[in-house]
Structure 1
Amino acid sequence: MDQPTVGILHPGSMGAAVAACAAANAAEVLWCEAGRSSASAARAEQFGLTPVPTLPDLLDRSDIVISLCPPAAAEDLARDIAQHRFTGVYVEANAINPERAQRITALLGPDAIVVDGGVVGSPPVRGKTPTLYLSGAAAETERIEALFAGTAVRTAVLGTEVGKASALKLAYASFQKTSRVLVALSVGMAREHGVDQDLIEVAARRTDSYLSEPQYVAKTAARAWRWGPELEEAADALAAVGLPPEMLRAAATTLARWHDVKDDGELTLTDALNSLVQP
Structure 2
Amino acid sequence: MNQPTVGVLHPGSMGAAVAACAATNAAEILWCENGRSTASVERAARFGLTPVPALAELLNRSDIVLSLCPPAAAEDLARDVARHRFAGVYVEANAINPERTQRIAALLEPDATVVDGGVVGSPPVGGKSPTLYLSGPDDATARIETLFSGTAVRAAVLGVEVGKASALKLAYAAFQKTSRVLVALAVGMAREHGVDQELIEVASRRTDSYLAEPEYVAKTAARAWRWGPELEEAADALAAASLPPEMLRAAASTLARWDDAKDDGELTLTDALGRLAQP
The normalised TM-score by structure 2 is 1.00
How much does 1:274 deviate? Answer: 0.4
Can you list the C-alpha shifts for 1:152-201, whole angstroms capped at 9, x where unaligned?
Answer: 00011000000000000000000000000000000000000000000000
| CA–CA separation in structure 1 for the residues paired with 2:48 and 2:240 | 52
Query: Which residue in the other structure is 1:204 paired with?
Result: 204
**1:64 counterpart letter in structure 2:** I
Query: Which residue in the other structure is 1:21 paired with?
Result: 21
| CA–CA separation in structure 1 for the residues paired with 2:213 and 2:155 | 25
| CA–CA separation in structure 2 for the residues paired with 1:250 and 1:75 | 29
In the alignment, is residue 126 of structure 1 matched against residue 122 of structure 2? no
Q: Is there any run of 5+ residues in structure 1 with no aligned partner, and where?
A: none
How much does 1:278 deviate? Answer: 2.1
**1:35 counterpart letter in structure 2:** G
In the alignment, is residue 72 of structure 1 matched against residue 64 of structure 2? no
SS in 2 for 1:51: strand
**1:165 counterpart letter in structure 2:** A
| CA–CA separation in structure 1 for the residues paired with 2:240 and 2:97 | 35
Query: Which residue in the other structure is 1:216 paired with?
Result: 216
Query: Which residue in the other structure is 2:253 paired with?
Result: 253
**1:205 counterpart letter in structure 2:** R
| CA–CA separation in structure 2 for the residues paired with 1:42 and 1:85 | 30
Runs of 4+ in 1 over 4 A off after TM superposition: none
| CA–CA separation in structure 2 for the residues paired with 1:166 and 1:34 | 28
SS in 2 for 1:158: strand
Query: Which residue in the other structure is 1:49 paired with?
Result: 49
| CA–CA separation in structure 1 for the residues paired with 2:237 and 2:264 | 30
How much does 1:260 deviate? Answer: 1.1
Can you list the C-alpha shifts for 1:37-83, whole angstroms capped at 9, x where unaligned?
Answer: 11000000000001111000000000000000000000000000000
The count of corresponding residues between Structure 1 and Structure 2 is 279
* Root-mean-square deviation (Å): 0.5
Quick one: percent identity of the two aligned structures?
83
Structure 2 counterparts to residues 68-217 of structure 1, below 5 A: 68-217=68-217
| CA–CA separation in structure 2 for the residues paired with 1:23 and 1:233 | 53
| CA–CA separation in structure 2 for the residues paired with 1:8 and 1:176 | 26
| CA–CA separation in structure 2 for the residues paired with 1:51 and 1:241 | 50
| CA–CA separation in structure 2 for the residues paired with 1:194 and 1:65 | 52
SS in 2 for 1:223: helix
**1:10 counterpart letter in structure 2:** H
The normalised TM-score by structure 1 is 1.00
**2:70 counterpart letter in structure 1:** P
Can you list the C-alpha shifts for 1:211-270, whole angstroms capped at 9, x where unaligned?
Answer: 000000000000000000000000000000100000000000000000111100000000
| CA–CA separation in structure 1 for the residues paired with 2:14 and 2:60 | 24
